[in-house]
Amino acid sequence: MKHCQPRSPSPFSNPRALYAVSAALCAVFLFYYLQQRQTFARSERPANFPETQRSADVTAILLNWARLDNVVQIVTGLCEETLATVIKEVVVFNNNYSQPLLDEDFVTCNCSHRLRIHNSPENLYFQARFIACSNASTAYCFIQDDDYLIKPEVIRSLRARAHADDLFVLPPAEVLSSHLLSINSPSTNVTFSFSWLGYGALILRSHAESFLSLLARLNASEEETKMADNYYSILANKIPEIWTSAPIALDGGGAFTVGDEGAARNRKHIAAAANYLDAIASNRNPDWPYVSLDSSQTNPQIERAPCLERSCVLESTIQSLPDLFVTGLHTTAREIFSRQEQLSMKLTEEFTSNYMNFPLSHAVDADRETSYRSAWNAVEGDMLVLDAFDLAQMNWTAIKWYWIVDTGTAKALRASTYSHSSDKQTWVKSPTIVSCTTLSSQDIDPSFDVSECHVSMAGNLDKARYFRLQLGESNATCPWLIYETWLRDGRYK
């Protein structure tokens, strides 16, 4: 068995050719997605939390072009009863004008009461998402591509956390790409990160409406408007809230955005969006629709990941990116690719591999064979917050917070304080009594000594929703390594 090895790697190395880094990124990305196709190995845990009771107020939007089998499979999932209190309507926007869709194409979905089909007379590409959303009867729209399955608990979590900003779900490789394709310059009113919508996004209908109005006011070309995905997150001029979670890839092939042609097209339209944003920011006209010109917005480095098999979200303030990512060396949107290249050339393969293969989402994916591993050693002040938004309905009078961790992280758990809150403002502390039991590492990770630890949360738990760990002063010399964390009814062992 091995104990944790102290990690203090620099994520930077000597400058090298960008294509070498890109090749490494692609290789790790491919490996990661192949891994996602494997069946989850479940860790023992209590049953799913019940759904929050509310009237469904989300319209799910799917585009169809050439992968109807995938669309039917996705619609079937969106119409499951587990999403009945979330999704009011499923809209299939058929861009394949030569092959109109009929209700009969979806007869196996058992979704006639919630399904609406729109056969477009032309291929509107990604503009169609925003047209469909702007015409929805609900306040929110859930958007995804037709080559992935997004688990229903992720969609429930998105709705439970919905607020005045859009929420994006991205796999680790795309999260890193989003950080690379960003500018944070409050002095010039340019603050954004580029994010795709197709891996799963919950957006406000009002945002879709104002976004289309902005494109019209900019006199965007027909091609630019149809490539709306490339413009949406940039022209918002906000650092979006991104969750790390890998969807399940579906077969079908023929993805529109892959390959050299797709990469060149994306780069062209991202550059165009950046030019539009620079023009808007320099104009300083407060009457622009959609775009935010609030220079006071902050860019906190908070990672988030939705739980699988449960309804919850894990947040982390543990450092996940090199310090250079948060420095304002670039001040205009048009510098987006030069910034990306400069940062990419300085990332080490060790950092990139760790970021993609051991993301925060692995701590809450219901699979004890995967793990989250921080790039740096644990430091005083590190925080993890578990938002169990459906917990109030469980009527638990006692709660235990469980962790499966390595030896080094077990020491960090013992040096941490624990508290809970109903509103994330007022926190009630619990006694720091951490109990750990050694597990058979052969069943989890032969490389490390592994323990299952738990903390009993104290105080009035009737309205508890948020559970926080904060590392205090310690002599921790290891990175965080968490195989799984979850809550359990404290009345039972």
pTM here is 0.89
Q: Which domains does the chain have, with CATH numbers?
A: 58-283 (3.90.550.10), 300-489 (2.60.120.260)
Q: Are 391 and 486 in contact (CB under 8 A)?
A: no
What percentage of the chain's residues is helix, strand, coil (to nearest 5)?
Answer: 35, 25, 40
Supply the pLDDT for residue 43: 34
| CA nearest to 230, candidates 176, 187, 277 | 277
Supply the pLDDT for residue 130: 99
**What is the Cα–Cα distance from 320 to 286, expressed in whole angstroms?**
35
**What is the Cα–Cα distance from 108 to 79, expressed in whole angstroms?**
11
The bridge status of strand 479-489 relative to strand 115-119 is: unpaired
DSSP character string of 128-165: HHHHHHHT-SSSEEEE--TTEE--HHHHHHHHHT--SS
Exposure on the CB side of residue 80, measured as CA atoms within 13 A: 14
**What is the Cα–Cα distance from 399 to 396, expressed in whole angstroms?**
7
φ, ψ at 166 (rounded to 5°): -70, 155
- Residue 298 tokens read as 């902050």
**What is the Cα–Cα distance from 489 to 395, expressed in whole angstroms?**
9
pLDDT tens per residue across all 493 residues of the chain: 455 655 544 444 443 334 444 444 444 444 443 443 333 233 334 334 444 457 999 999 999 999 999 999 999 999 999 999 999 999 999 999 999 999 999 999 999 999 999 999 999 999 999 999 999 999 999 999 999 999 999 999 999 999 899 999 999 999 999 999 999 998 899 999 999 999 999 999 999 999 999 999 999 999 999 999 999 999 999 999 999 999 999 987 656 666 789 999 999 999 999 999 999 999 877 799 999 988 666 656 899 999 999 989 999 999 999 988 876 679 999 999 999 999 999 999 999 999 999 999 999 999 999 999 999 999 999 999 999 998 877 778 889 999 999 999 999 999 999 999 999 999 999 988 999 999 976 667 777 889 999 999 988 888 899 999 999 988 778 999 999 999 998 877 6
